[in-house]
Structure 1
Amino acid sequence: MDQIAPSSDLMSELLLGMRLRGLQYRRIHVGSSFGFAFREKTGCAYFHFMATGKAALRTEDGVRETLAAGNAVFLPQGSAHQIVSDPTASVQDIEHYDVAPLSETLYAVTTPEPQSIFFSGCMEFDLGGLQGLVPLMPEIMKIDATSQRYLELMPILTAMEQEACSGRVGDAGILARLADVVMTVIVRGWVECGCGNSSAFVTALREPRLSRAILALHRQPGRDWSVAELAAESGLSRSVFAKRFQETIGVTPLRYAGELRMRIARTWLAYDKISIERVADRLGYTSQAAFSRAYKRIVGVSPGYSRRT
């Protein structure tokens, strides 16, 4: 695997900023013929795991993936799609099925004459400082026994298969937690392998000097960084650092710092529900008004709007 350097510190810091919050998980028992439609959900991701039986996943663009027992699929952009037993199966919106609540976010769906089992999750998906990479991710990321990139997932998927078929108390809750782990590992593997070589950001992560400055920014987003201080972190002169950073990333160091600060602010506001005043203070702003102006300029909406929605 083509690793990012410095892999441990930087990867840990970036993944710490990732947020996965389950909105709805479903353990689905299906018969020989079935069809489920999942709506597009902006800002969310879908995860499906086929425990027994087989199915096909198809998107509105005509992409089709075959799912067999032990396969998992991750849709990081929350694209609309269907899971069907065969091309002729009748399809119904998943929201229209009767469910049996297992907890606040866990539900059981059972169709007549159940034979196969799959587990489905929809969750809010935010990469924090890496959020700009989400649109670059593949629409569908499939994991199966032949996936050399994700060999460490095989024992987890095996555990999911056993749990889904066990019928033990609390099995759906355990499946939800395992699904969160699987998705985190998928994101890590995709970033480690260069994000499909589709991002200038990844080029910077592979450049040891620039990656040290990026790591410093992510660790101390509230610090009032100067270009000279970031250059010192990289061990480069101010002019060389500024030129190399802009050529690689496509923006100036201070613009990157400002946009990173607002991506982190959005996560704190929308997911952690931290007060606007507290977010402004943590990010080094002298007043809430100054923070609000910067936030609206970069994000496009007010901090209050992000916190409410």
Structure 2
Amino acid sequence: MPADQFALSSDLINELLRGMRLRGVDYRRIQAGSTFGLGFAEKPGHAWFHFMAVGNAVLRMDDGSTYALSAGNAVFISHGVAHQLFSHQDVPVQDIDHLDGAALGDAVSAVDTGTDASPAPSTILFSACMEFELGSIHGLGRLMPGLMLIDAGGQRYPGLVPILTTMEREVSAARVGYAGILARLADVVAAMVVRGWVECACGNASGLVAALRDPRLAGALLALHQQPGRDWTVAQLAEHCNTSRSVFADRFQTTIGMAPLRYVTELRMRLASQWLTLERLPIEEVAQRLGYTSQAAFSRAFKRITGKTPGLSRKVRQAERR
């Protein structure tokens, strides 16, 4: 790829990922003996992250597929689907939410399922449940693999190796303040996994991922995400791609699956939802940021796209987070 096209795609990736939000709601340092079974319930709108520091485990997803994990492995489950971690296929599984944990700090707890009277636990893992908000790149969520496996010794995520190595030391040593450090490291690892997937997705890429690599569309997308409140026309967007209006509109529809101005509207409403619920901005300020001439006009557009009024959307989200 020519240097200018690579820079443009990098700028666009940075702009897209800037709106991503990962907020840990539950962190657990789990230690177990040679026999254990742990169940993790489905949590829509969340992601699960597990890091094996000591020992081995089998991961079983809700579709029945299984994966062997060993020390140094991590998994990121982007859609929050139900899954299990266990030592052997026939071991009874306990719901992790039903196990008592000793508080180690804000939202961090220690869970001990038994160490078989051994001087040290056979298995130690760090588990995190996170609110996963993709913001303006919500469309990527449908394309993202439900499960991403990370090997600290592998080459696919080289930047993660030193972080996972640090996590392994912190989990095993349990030094003063380690719980807070682990929580922050887990957030960083999860964000890097998502970034790595966005940067590396190729081959059968479709939709927004393919558009990131298409210089005929990337310029328009970058402009849209940088200025979502501008009163865009298709002709103006085509100018950013140095192509005709008709060629741009056809290319956009074919690649992303919707018309350019429909994308503009949905982008605005995704941003509005994030600003209203996570950043708790006043409705009037959100409307102004997105270029609406009145709060009423914004509210009508928001309800048409999301099915809820801005006020109701905020209340529902706040109730879900309690």
TM-score, with length taken from structure 1: 0.94
Secondary structure at 2:43's aligned position in 1? coil
Aligned partner of 1:39 in structure 2 is 41
User: Do the aligned residues in 1 keep the contact of 2:153 with 2:161 (CA within 8 Å)?
Assistant: no
Counterpart among 277, 280, 291 of residue 273 in structure 1 = 280
User: Do the aligned residues in 2 keep the contact of 1:137 with 1:195 (CA within 8 Å)?
Assistant: no
Aligned partner of 2:245 in structure 1 is 238
Q: Cα deviations across residues 13-49 of structure 1 (Å, max 9, x unaligned)?
A: 1110101011111111112211111110111000000
Alignment-mate amino acid for residue 143 of structure 2: L
Aligned partner of 2:118 in structure 1 is none
Counterpart among 127, 131, 138 of residue 120 in structure 1 = 127
Aligned partner of 1:289 in structure 2 is 296
Give me the whole-angstrom Cα distance separating, in 2, the residues matched to 1:244 and 1:135: 21
Aligned partner of 2:54 in structure 1 is 52
Alignment-mate amino acid for residue 99 of structure 1: G
TM-score, with length taken from structure 2: 0.91
1:301 aligns with 2:321: no
Give me the whole-angstrom Cα distance separating, in 2, the residues matched to 1:123 and 1:226: 37
Aligned partner of 1:255 in structure 2 is 262
1:129 aligns with 2:136: yes
Secondary structure at 1:172's aligned position in 2? helix
Alignment-mate amino acid for residue 78 of structure 1: G
Secondary structure at 1:148's aligned position in 2? coil
State the shift of 1:72 in Å.
0.2
User: Do the aligned residues in 1 keep the contact of 2:102 with 2:111 (CA within 8 Å)?
Assistant: yes
State the shift of 1:290 in Å.
1.1
Aligned partner of 2:218 in structure 1 is 211
State the shift of 1:209 in Å.
2.8
Aligned partner of 2:112 in structure 1 is 110
Identical counterparts, % of pairs: 61
User: Do the aligned residues in 2 keep the contact of 1:57 with 1:65 (CA within 8 Å)?
Assistant: yes
Moved more, 158-167 or 109-118: 109-118
Distance 1:195 1:140, change over 3 A: farther
Aligned partner of 2:94 in structure 1 is 92
Alignment-mate amino acid for residue 84 of structure 1: F
Aligned partner of 1:15 in structure 2 is 17
State the shift of 1:196 in Å.
6.3
Give me the whole-angstrom Cα distance separating, in 2, the residues matched to 1:197 and 1:259: 24
Q: Cα deviations across residues 38-75 of structure 1 (Å, max 9, x unaligned)?
A: 11011100000000011111022101111100000000
State the shift of 1:239 in Å.
2.5
State the number of aligned residues.
Answer: 308
Aligned partner of 1:29 in structure 2 is 31
Moved more, 27-36 or 197-206: 197-206
Distance 1:290 1:214, change over 3 A: same
Give me the whole-angstrom Cα distance separating, in 2, the residues matched to 1:227 and 1:51: 52
Q: Cα deviations across residues 193-217 of structure 1 (Å, max 9, x unaligned)?
A: 2266242222221111310110010
Aligned partner of 2:75 in structure 1 is 73
CA RMSD of aligned residues (A): 1.8
Give me the whole-angstrom Cα distance separating, in 1, the residues matched to 2:35 and 2:53: 16
